[in-house]
Structure 1
Amino acid sequence: MDLDELFPDKPKDPLLLLARQDLDPLSVEELEERIAALEAEIVRVKSKLAAAVDHRASADALFKK
């Protein structure tokens, strides 16, 4: 057995795995739930991004003096 198979360098990217997932077996309700979950994740990521941008701007302002 190959050690690379047992201990991969990096975990697989969850977004890549998500994009490759077969959607054919999912029902309409499951697809709607998936969309809602993805939209909630987008809101969460945008919130984190806004906080990071604000934090960076505060740090830049502090150290520019």
Structure 2
Amino acid sequence: MSIIDDERPKKPTTHELGCDLSMLSVDELESRIGLLRQEIARIEAEKEKKAAGRRAADSLFRS
């Protein structure tokens, strides 16, 4: 590893919607896709948790 490699700015490991993707490698794009899939799963889990709470409340007030 050369000194030049150490001085390169590190690319962020997060993804910003709408950011320029042209400078990313295929591996970096795959990594971003993985991050986004994990985030989608996290959001869907939270949505389901909230929907379950709403169903429970609706059920309670309909009785």
**What TM-score does the superposition give when structure 2 sets the normalisation length?**
0.70
Cα distance in 2, alignment partners of residues 28 and 35 from structure 1 = 10
The number of residues matched between the two structures is: 49
Query: Does 2:39 correspond to 1:41?
Result: yes
Secondary structure of 2:16's aligned partner: helix
Over 3 Å off, 4+ runs: none
Higher helix share: 1
Larger Rg: 2
Q: TM-score, normalised by structure 1?
A: 0.68
**Seq. identity, %:** 39
